[in-house]
Amino acid sequence: MGAATSCHSVASAPDPALGATYRTVAVVGPPNSGKTTLFNRLTRLRQKVGNFPGVTVEHHTGYIRDADGQEVALIDLPGVYSLTPKSEDEKVAVDVLTGQMPGMPRPDAVIVVLNSTNLHSHLVLAARVIALGIPTLVLLNMADELRKQGGHVDVLSLARQLGTPVALVSATTGEGIVAVQNFLSAAATSPDPVELPVVGSTRGYREWAVRVGENAGYRRPATPVWTQRLDAIFLHRIWGPVVFAVVVIGVFQTIFAVGQPLSNLLQRFLDVTGAQLGARLPQGIFNSLVINGVWKGTGSVLVFLPQILLLFLVIGILEDSGYLSRAAVIADRTMSRAGLNGKSFIPLLSAYACAVPAIMATRTIESRRDRIATILVAPFMTCSARLPVYTMVIAAFLPNRPLLGFFLGTRAVAMLGLYVLGFLMAVLTARLLKSTILRSRESPFILEMPPYRWPTLSSLGLRLVDRGKAFLYRAGTVIMLVTLLLWAATNFPMHNGKPPEVQNSVVAKLGHAIEPVIRPLGFDWKIGVGLVTSIAAREVIISTLGTLHGVDPESHATDLQAAMRRELTPAAAVALLVFFAFAMQCMSTIAVVRRETNGWKWPALQFGYMTIVAYVSAFATYHIAGHFFR
């Protein structure tokens, strides 16, 4: 029973005889138990969030110092309900816990994070983890909610029954978190369970959990009043879909009404600093490289940072507040008509931010055919990299007029239309796939409704920092590289040490070579070059056009939007938008699809299909729209 005494916030002193401290500690728990909030709180100052490049690994590692100042690696595992791996993400958790994950040592200890407001279901997982025989700390999270809603549990009694230290904590407020540090610096003690179900069905486990809970005087809290009140509206037969529509429209309007002015401000800042920098550097080839190549090229992509951060902020709020699960219920009917698993909804919704995490999120889908179908349609959802392209083209061609007061402008409607277009093509493709090569029995839609919570600033902030870094990293690497190559292609071959006229440069020759292919879509060679470079990443077309026009003597002093207006007919502009809505212009997505499907077959098929769809649709759009804009 030695372990039980250390359950309290004040841990027993480390026993030097047993001395071994933990190096690697896994954090495991059911989905929505506040694992990641805890993880972020613990590792806040020394955050090292990043995806492991392994085959199926998707977990985060962070570092924390224990009470003695020793460094401990914390592994944040995907949320699991049980340890019988049904889906890919559960398999990751089980493999890490049992030491079967390649390149990852078996954890020295486990922290099980449970939701204290739903102990009966969650104790079952604790029992299964404890049965692994690794030193375990059980954290009953959301202590503040438990108390507020009139729940109760005797931590000491629970610790006695489980044979492991137990602490009541709140990852949101930080209450009781010190128990983790104490646990980490305490001596290694394997769990010594008094009474654990040795073998048993889920039902047997559950009966055990109820008994343990009763012995510990567990009183389940009442369902939060606010969750009830909000769901009475958000899941109302009539108001539910209305709220859903308002939320979706609100998201896009926010990105435009708030994001656009911020982007403009950033653009002005970059213009002014670029001009100052240009004046200080000596004139010549180097000046041109820095200003026209690097500064203008990457700068034209960088200005979209505010909008991308806003998008992630809004999606983060929806996710953390718990509304996203309700939205899934509202949207499920549409999803089932597309023949898609209801579970595909959340990956597809996150594909609105970026297809890469979305494709990784499909690991929660048990059926392989459904999973492949979801992976194949995910890139049709309008990801944040399309946003710069859409914004620039729409802003260039469509004057913003209010349609419904401040709430809805013409540009937001155009944007919304493009989002709908991508979604419709995803549905169409899903239907096509599910009725041909990926036919399967529908797998069930089972989704837990978490109580509503206020999103915490730290959780939102960390996500924004993470996404912002990823975007800047891309701007600094892929986009910079493409920009430099492009600059070189526009400045060579030189004549007497001077760069050529743009129409005599290498890039113009390349552009003119592909022009016959894209001419039927109404695009000129500059757009053509942009289409090629944007295979690296969609937003690269902006920096490409920025570089091409930066060196173009005619449009030298004008901004990109004016240049676009001169270059494209309105019909061709619409065709360009349609092309971008459907084409798979993203190396990262191709790479992640290859990784997740273990081969080139699916990404090749997907790239071919999407390119053909994009080309044919853009062609049709150009010719049909041409009749309207005459």
Footprint of another protein (CB under 8 A): 81-82, 84, 86, 117-118, 120-121, 124-125, 202-203, 206, 220-223, 228, 231, 235, 237, 240-241, 325, 328-330, 332-333, 336, 342, 366, 442, 444-449
Closest contact distance (angstroms) between CB of 326 and another protein is 9
Closest contact distance (angstroms) between CB of 61 and another protein is 27
* Cα–Cα distances in angstroms (integers) from residue 385 to residues 143, 378, 391, 517, 564, in the given order: 40, 14, 11, 25, 19
Asked if residue 389 lies in contact with residue 538, where contact means CB atoms within 8 angstroms, the answer is yes
Nearer to another protein, 260 or 362 (CB): 362
Closest contact distance (angstroms) between CB of 40 and another protein is 25
The three-state secondary structure class of 31 is coil
Nearer to another protein, 222 or 612 (CB): 222
Nearer to another protein, 210 or 398 (CB): 210
Q: What is the 3-state secondary structure (H, E, C) of 492-519?
A: CCCECCECCCHHHCHHHHHHHHHHHHHH
Closest contact distance (angstroms) between CB of 449 and another protein is 4
Q: In one letter, which amino acid is 413?
A: V
Nearer to another protein, 51 or 202 (CB): 202
The angle subtended at Cα 352 by Cα 339 and Cα 590, nearest 5°, is 80
Rounded CA-CA distance 36/113 in Å is 10
Nearer to another protein, 77 or 521 (CB): 77
Name 60's Cβ contacts closer than 8 Å, sequence gap at least 6: 39, 49, 50, 75, 76
Task: Write the DSSP assignment of 555-608 as a string of letters.
Answer: TTTS-HHHHHHHHS-HHHHHHHHHHHHH---BHHHHHHHHHHHTSSHHHHHHHH
Cβ atoms within 10 Å of 457's Cβ, excluding its own: 8
Sign of CA dihedral 605, 608, 614, 615: negative
Residue owning tokens 């109580």: 451
Detail the DSSP E strand segments found in 190-340.
Answer: none
Closest contact distance (angstroms) between CB of 213 and another protein is 11
Nearer to another protein, 31 or 626 (CB): 31
Closest contact distance (angstroms) between CB of 323 and another protein is 13
> What strands lie across the sheet with 24-28, from one edge to the other?
60-65, 71-76, 24-28, 109-115, 136-141, 166-168
Rounded CA-CA distance 501/495 in Å is 10
* Cα–Cα distances in angstroms (integers) from residue 2 to residues 160, 191, 430, in the given order: 10, 10, 57
Rounded CA-CA distance 245/155 in Å is 45
Closest contact distance (angstroms) between CB of 166 and another protein is 21
Closest contact distance (angstroms) between CB of 75 and another protein is 22
Both tokens assigned to 127:
């029992």
Rounded CA-CA distance 112/116 in Å is 12
Closest contact distance (angstroms) between CB of 175 and another protein is 22
For residue 82, what is the DSSP state? -
Closest contact distance (angstroms) between CB of 18 and another protein is 35
Asked if residue 44 lies in contact with residue 91, where contact means CB atoms within 8 angstroms, the answer is no
* Cα–Cα distances in angstroms (integers) from residue 526 to residues 315, 508, 567, in the given order: 35, 8, 9
Nearer to another protein, 123 or 613 (CB): 123
Cβ atoms within 10 Å of 200's Cβ, excluding its own: 14
Nearer to another protein, 222 or 277 (CB): 222
Closest contact distance (angstroms) between CB of 421 and another protein is 23
Nearer to another protein, 203 or 630 (CB): 203
Nearer to another protein, 230 or 301 (CB): 230
Closest contact distance (angstroms) between CB of 58 and another protein is 20
Nearer to another protein, 1 or 446 (CB): 446
Task: Tell me how far apart the terminal alpha carbons of the chain are, to the nearest angstrom.
Answer: 85
Nearer to another protein, 52 or 445 (CB): 445
Nearer to another protein, 227 or 267 (CB): 227
Closest contact distance (angstroms) between CB of 201 and another protein is 8
For residue 403, what is the DSSP state? S
Nearest to 117 by CA among 168, 188, 73: 168
Both tokens assigned to 547:
């570089």
Rounded CA-CA distance 534/540 in Å is 5
Characterize 369-393 residue by residue with b for buried, 16 or more Cβ atoms within 10 angstroms of its Cβ, and e for exposed. Answer: bbbbbbbbbbbbbbbbbbbbbbbbb
Both tokens assigned to 298:
């990457």
* Cα–Cα distances in angstroms (integers) from residue 147 to residues 45, 76, 153, in the given order: 29, 27, 10
Closest contact distance (angstroms) between CB of 4 and another protein is 27
Nearer to another protein, 244 or 602 (CB): 244
Closest contact distance (angstroms) between CB of 346 and another protein is 12
Nearer to another protein, 215 or 227 (CB): 227
